[in-house]
């Protein structure tokens, strides 16, 4: 029984409520936004008038008057990527019982046309911004400062190395070090690395963590063992060809992402090598599939939802003076999830 009469009542306003309650619009407004400013009695009268009239506050009007949008924008490099969408899930949860709605924009869509993020602020469509994209153009970031909204921005997962915005991230270097350490403990000495895309901050952090641990353990180094990837399945697959054909072939590979690891394993198999018998593989991210792949993937676990929540909290702290912590950089712990894609040599 889904049909129903369309009731076209012409918007109930504060005026109507005020009239019914026998008070002024000012009082109605106050009763709503700050109940303790009106007396017990009037508050009750207003409440009753509201339910009698079926009043709903018009957000557009409020936004105009209060000069705020009650919305935040989340900037995602690619919504199709499950990794990002899980962070988004956390962000969504983090804002779920606040007054803020979340607007989502995919930076890959506006590829060509500059995105002019600051306009979102200037048009008073948003009050804050969380970017999962660490590679926003500097010109854009400058604009934020110029228009005085720089303090309404938080980075999550990725970050902008040159600028100094609050940032919530995983401890990437630590993750890389755990991975190398794990392989070392299994007896591996010749360890390769498939990186993320050049220029990406995560790529750099993980690569450096790996190099650092390697140095610490005094492992042999062969520049060929660092293979360029881009976090994708394809790039892992391609890397497998190169690695399989190396004269001085590594016995283990640390991949910058789980997707790369899966691609790599698939590629190695095609080259007649099997994991972990011939080569051990460690991933990064611990996506859900890692547990069910063949072989189950040893990898570094990141708390994606935690990243989302923490960044939501962090932005909230900027948006409302009183709440939340305000560290500039929040690093979330990672851990090694040991499965069957690695084995002792």
Residues of this chain, 21-40, that bind DNA according to CB under 7 A: 22-30, 32-33, 36-39
Cβ neighbours of 161 (radius 10 Å):
12
User: Which DSSP string corresponds to 193-210?
Assistant: EE---TT-HHHHHHHHHH
8 Å CB contact between 105 and 72: no
Torsions phi, psi of 332, nearest 5?
A: -90, 140
**Beta strands 298-301 and 335-337, pairing class:** antiparallel
Question: Is residue 93 close enough to count as binding DNA by CB under 7 A?
Answer: no
Q: What secondary structure letter does DSSP report for 34?
A: -
The only residue of 42, 53, 78, 340 in contact with a second copy, by rule CB under 8 A = 78
Question: Is residue 67 close enough to count as binding DNA by CB under 7 A?
Answer: yes
Shortest distance, CB of residue 139 to a second copy, whole angstroms? 10
Q: Pick left, alpha or beta for residue 294 (phi over 0 → left; psi -120 to 50 → alpha; otherwise beta).
A: beta
Applying CB under 8 A, the site for a second copy has a residue count of 73
Binding partner at 162 among a second copy, DNA, none, C-beta below 5 to 8 Å by kind: a second copy
Binding partner at 168 among a second copy, DNA, none, C-beta below 5 to 8 Å by kind: none
Q: Which residues pair with 76 in a beta bridge?
A: 106
Question: Is residue 119 close enough to count as binding a second copy by CB under 8 A?
Answer: yes
Q: Could you give the 3-state DSSP secondary structure of residue 316?
A: helix
Shortest distance, CB of residue 294 to a second copy, whole angstroms? 5
Applying CB under 7 A, the site for DNA has a residue count of 31
In 3D space, the residue among 84, 118, 70, 133 whose CA is nearest the CA of residue 259 turns out to be 84
Determine the distance from the C-alpha atom of residue 73 to the mean position of all C-alpha atoms in its chain, rounded to a whole number.
12
The only residue of 52, 114, 122, 344 in contact with a second copy, by rule CB under 8 A = 122
Question: Is residue 118 close enough to count as binding DNA by CB under 7 A?
Answer: no
Binding partner at 109 among DNA, a second copy, none, C-beta below 5 to 8 Å by kind: a second copy
Q: Which residues bind DNA (CB under 7 A)?
A: 11, 13-15, 22-30, 32-33, 36-39, 41-42, 55-58, 61-62, 64-67
């Amino acid at each position: 029984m889904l049909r129903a009469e369309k009731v076209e009542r012409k918007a109930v306003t504060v005026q109507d409520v005020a009239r019914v309650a026998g008070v002024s619009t000012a009082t109605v407004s106050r009763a709503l936004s700050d109940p303790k400013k009106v007396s017990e009695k009037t508050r009750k009268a207003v409440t009753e008038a509201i339910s009698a009239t079926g009043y709903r506050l018009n957000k557009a009007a409020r936004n105009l008057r209060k000069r705020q949008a009650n919305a935040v924008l989340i900037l995602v490099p690619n919504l199709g990527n499950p990794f990002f969408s899980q962070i988004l899930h956390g962000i969504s949860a983090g804002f779920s019982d606040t007054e803020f709605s979340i607007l989502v924009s995919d930076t890959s869509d506006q590829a060509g046309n500059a995105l002019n993020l600051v306009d979102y602020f200037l048009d008073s469509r948003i009050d804050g911004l969380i970017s999962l994209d660490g590679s926003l153009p500097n010109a854009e970031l400058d604009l934020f400062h110029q228009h005085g909204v720089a303090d309404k921005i938080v980075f999550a997962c990725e970050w902008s190395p040159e600028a100094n915005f609050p940032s919530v991230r995983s401890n990437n270097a630590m993750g890389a070090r755990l991975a190398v350490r794990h392989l070392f403990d299994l007896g591996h000495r010749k360890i390769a690395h498939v990186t993320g895309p050049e220029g990406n901050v995560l790529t750099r952090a993980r690569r450096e963590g790996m190099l650092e641990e390697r140095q610490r353990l005094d492992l042999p180094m062969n520049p060929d063992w660092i293979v360029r990837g881009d976090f994708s399945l394809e790039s892992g697959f391609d890397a497998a060809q190169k690695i399989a054909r190396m004269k001085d072939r590594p016995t283990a590979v640390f991949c910058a992402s789980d997707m790369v690891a899966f691609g790599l394993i698939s590629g190695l198999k095609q080259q007649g090598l099997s994991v972990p018998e011939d080569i051990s593989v460690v991933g990064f991210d611990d996506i859900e599939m890692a547990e069910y792949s063949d072989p189950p993937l040893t990898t570094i676990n990141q708390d994606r939802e935690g990243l989302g929540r923490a960044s939501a909290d962090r932005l909230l702290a900027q948006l409302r003076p009183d709440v939340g912590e305000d560290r500039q950089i929040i690093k979330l712990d990672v851990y090694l999830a040991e499965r069957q894609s690695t084995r002792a040599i």
